[in-house]
Amino acid sequence: MVWGGISLRGRTELHVINNGTLTAQRYHDEILAVHVRPYGYAGAIGPDFLLMDDNATAYRARIVQVYLQRETID
């Protein structure tokens, strides 16, 4: 499985998810903290950053929702 982010102002690096499925913990550790937050705030977008996803189960987990709220990612 491969994850990547795109916007009108650029793109993230592709992230290959090896050794199993994408769990909420892996999404938090490997994607949100490493790719999404730096790209959205320090990278291409800035304070108007809005995260859109495809509503997968891992994306709706409590650990992910708490992280997004704590980091003020809409």
Q: What is the pLDDT of residue 64?
A: 95
Between CA 29 and CA 50 the distance in angstroms is 19
- For the entire predicted model, the pTM comes to 0.82
Expressed as residue numbers, the domain containing 18 is 2-70
Q: Using the predicted structure, report yes or no on whether residue 43 has a pLDDT greater than 70.
A: no
List CB contacts of 28: < 8 A, sequence separation 6 or more: 63, 64, 67
Per-residue pLDDT reduced to its tens digit, 1-42? 888 888 877 888 899 988 888 999 999 999 999 988 887 665
- Residue 7 or residue 61, greater confidence: 61
pLDDT at 48 over 80: no
How many structural domains compose the chain?
Answer: 1
Q: Fill in the amino acid letter for 70.
A: R
CA separation for the pair 18, 4 (Å, rounded): 14
